Amino acid sequence: MSWVKHREVDPDTMIPPESRTVVFEREHGLCARCFMPGAEWHHRRSRRVRGVHRHCACNGVLLCRACHRWAHAHPSDAGETGWVVSMHEEHPAAVPQRRPDGWWITLCDGSGMALPPDRVRVGITGRPCVLRP
């Protein structure tokens, strides 16, 4: 008997290939946090949160293995820079990410957009938010 547990893959938890492709192309194959070669899809808002944005491009970023591990090992720091989004946040695109070249938002269509520094504020909760013009 094998000690390895075999489990069936739940199709609901699989990231659709289209989403993987869109995120990989948006990031040009590079880690969004450090610009090294990217290898892993990261759910900014936990994939345990079911809903329309679960595997949406606005919730996914391409990270290298080191940055992906960092985001999970340091959720408070990752939350302050937008790499982790609260499970209570309805729309992950509302939370910008601090990248090496500034603050960015990622949208549902797979596009990304740089934000002027004066459009981002870190609130009293320590989480970044986009200021409305």
Is residue 1, in this structure, part of any structural domain at all? no
pTM of the model: 0.82
pLDDT score, position 120: 86
| HSE-CB for 69 with a 13 A CA cutoff | 3
Is residue 12, in this structure, part of any structural domain at all? no
pLDDT score, position 12: 61
Is residue 120, in this structure, part of any structural domain at all? yes
The parent domain of residue 116 ranges over 17-130
Strand partners, 63: 40
Task: Please state, in angstroms and rounded to a whole number, the distance separating the CA atoms of residues 30 and 110.
Answer: 15
Count of domains forming the chain: 1
Is residue 54, in this structure, part of any structural domain at all? yes
Q: Phi and psi dihedrals of 23, rounded to 5?
A: -70, -40
Residues of the chain with pLDDT below 50 are 1-7, 9
